[in-house]
Amino acid sequence: MSPYPSHRCDVLVIGAGPAGSACAQALAEGGLDVVLADQHDFPRDKVCGDGLIPDAHAALKRLRVHDEVMAHAQRVQRVGCIGPRGGRVDVPGTLAVLPRRVLDHILVRSASRAGAALLTPWRFESPLVDGGRVVGARLRSGASVREIGARWVVLATGAVPQALIAAGMCRRRTPSAVALRGYVKHDGMAGRLDALEVVWHPRLARGYGWVFPAPGGVYNVGVGLVHSHAADADGRATMADVNLRSMFAAFTEVHAPARELMAGGTLQGGLKGAPLRCSLDGAAWSRPGLLVTGEAAGSTYAFTGEGIGKAMETGLLAAQALVRERRDGLDDAAACARAAPRRCCAAWPACSTRRPIRATSCRCAASRSCCCRCAERRDPAPGALSGAARGAGSCRRCSSAGRRGTRCTSAACRR
């Protein structure tokens, strides 16, 4: 365990996964006094598909650990999407696979090098509240309890809801999805499977299976069930009548590479399951003095269960907001608004597309005239027209109806 930090800091980050470590590193580099606490010592295992897609690569480069990660990872050139009738589409991309035990340890070390004080193994027990504002947290390690005061607390505690419940931020106790995975070593198949294979099949209920090549002749094989819990009339959520182990067995029957891996390979460490929180749903994102980020905020993508890059991006957004809060003297409401993940538009509950960030135009049937802003919330360039505004012939910045192509002809905008 790291030496105790001081009893007070600028920001206390709870959870040292990708979101928490990314947030802590960016905060420390921004000049804030940061404590990064986690209930486990590192390195530690984490149930995940381990796939790194382009958004994860971009975040790793921002954190300047991309080269270190890729030195350990298995590089992959494409994703193979296999449909229920056997049709296959291969999508090339910048991809890799690295077990979370290794990846998360790299990220934690990077945060520590940046100046964040690592505190393990300490579990979040409850927030410290003064006058309705969170001013720190109570942590527990075995029989020991300590309180750390902080200007801000960031919850990056993943899909398990206990921390959200304790902090009064949980709106849905049950997960959005569940997954089961195992590591299978099969030297004979090394080099034969060179894609991230994601499989949808009628025997997999409403879910999917995957086979991802990891380093050292090991393969990450698993299944995921989306919309795993449904709400009853009394508001309680119950899990669908699906057995994940039976689903895994079905996957190894219907997908030939998975079948060959399980028949001739060695399962390492057994099958392990985990919940997922998806679609920016199930938790409040902020309250005075506290932000929620990463999978705790529902950052995982429901269609494939991918969430590493999205978790890091939300962690970086939270850090960006808190650095600006101190630099610009923002109040709590402004800081929380800057840190919030970006949804499609103000009419989000009725929006059928729910595109989260960097959307260029809203497709929400309930709000045809709205336009979306990018993740950094930059103001539009002079004369730039949103996708919705182009259709209406008006400029998003000056409201002028004059335009030529995608440029506004207003004299005010031309200046």
Radius of gyration of the chain (CA): 23
Q: Which residue has the tokens 């989000």?
A: 348
Q: Taking phi first (over 0 means left), then psi (-120 to 50 degrees means alpha), and beta for anything else, what does residue 45 get?
A: beta
**In the chain, how many H helices and how many E strands?**
11, 20
- What pLDDT score does 272 carry? 96
- What pLDDT score does 205 carry? 81
- What pLDDT score does 230 carry? 65
- Give me the residues of the chain with pLDDT under 50, please: 1-5, 233-235, 344-394, 396-397, 399, 402-407, 412-415
Task: Pull the structure tokens for residue 316.
Answer: 């970086």
Task: Pull the structure tokens for residue 288.
Answer: 């005075």
Of 229, 260, 227, 225, nearest to 245 by C-alpha is 225
Amino acid at 307: G
DSSP 31: T
54-112 tens-digit pLDDT: 999 999 999 999 999 999 999 999 999 999 999 999 999 999 999 999 999 999 999 99
**Cα 286 to Cα 414: distance, rounded to the nearest angstrom:** 39
